[in-house]
Amino acid sequence: MKINIPESDQKRIVIVGGGFAGLTLAQKLEKSDYQIVLLDKNNYHQFQPLFYQVAMAGLEPSSIVFPFRKAFQNSKNVFIRVTEVTRINRSNKCLETPLGICNYDYLILAIGADTNFFGNEQIARLSIPMKSVSEALYLRNRVLTDLEKALSTTDYDTRQGLIDIVIVGGGPTGVEVAGALAEMKKYILPKDYPELPCDEIDIYLIQGGNRLLPGMSEDASAKAHHFLESLGVEIRLNTRVVDFDGEYAYMKDGTQIRTNKLIWAAGITGNRVGGLPEESITWGKRLAVNRFNQVAGVEDIYAIGDIAYMEEEAYPKGHPQVAQVAMQQAKLLAKNLKGLHKGKNMQPFSYKDLGSMATIGRNRAVVDLPRFKFQGAFAWMVWLFVHLFQILGVKNKVFIFLNWVWNYVTYDQSLRLIIRPKVPKTEQVEE
396: phi then psi, degrees, rounded to nearest 5: -60, -45
The one-letter amino acid code at 246 reads: G
Cα within 13 Å of Cα(184), Cβ side: 29
**Other CB atoms within 10 A of residue 144 CB:** 16
Domains of the chain: 12-115+270-341 (3.50.50.60), 121-266 (3.50.50.100)
Q: How many CA atoms lie within 13 A of 130 on its CB side?
A: 31
Pairing of strands 65-67, 308-309: unpaired
pLDDT of residue 57: 86
Looking at residue 431, its pLDDT comes to 46
Low-confidence spans in the chain with pLDDT less than 50: 429-431
pLDDT score at 425:
62
Reading across the β-sheet that carries 365-368, which strands appear in turn? Answer: 356-359, 365-368, 373-375
pLDDT 10s digits, 319-362:
999 999 999 999 999 999 999 988 899 999 999 999 999 999 88
**N-to-C CA span, the chain:** 28
Residues in the chain: 431
Residue 295 pairs in a beta bridge with 289
Instruction: Give the model's pLDDT for residue 414.
Output: 64
The radius of gyration of the chain from alpha carbons, rounded to an integer in Å, stands at 23
Considering the entire predicted model, what is its pTM?
Answer: 0.92
C-alpha distance from residue 130 to each of 34, 54, 172, 385, 421 (Å): 35, 10, 12, 23, 19
Calpha distance 109→103 (Å, rounded): 14
Nearest to 301 by CA among 327, 335, 337, 345: 337
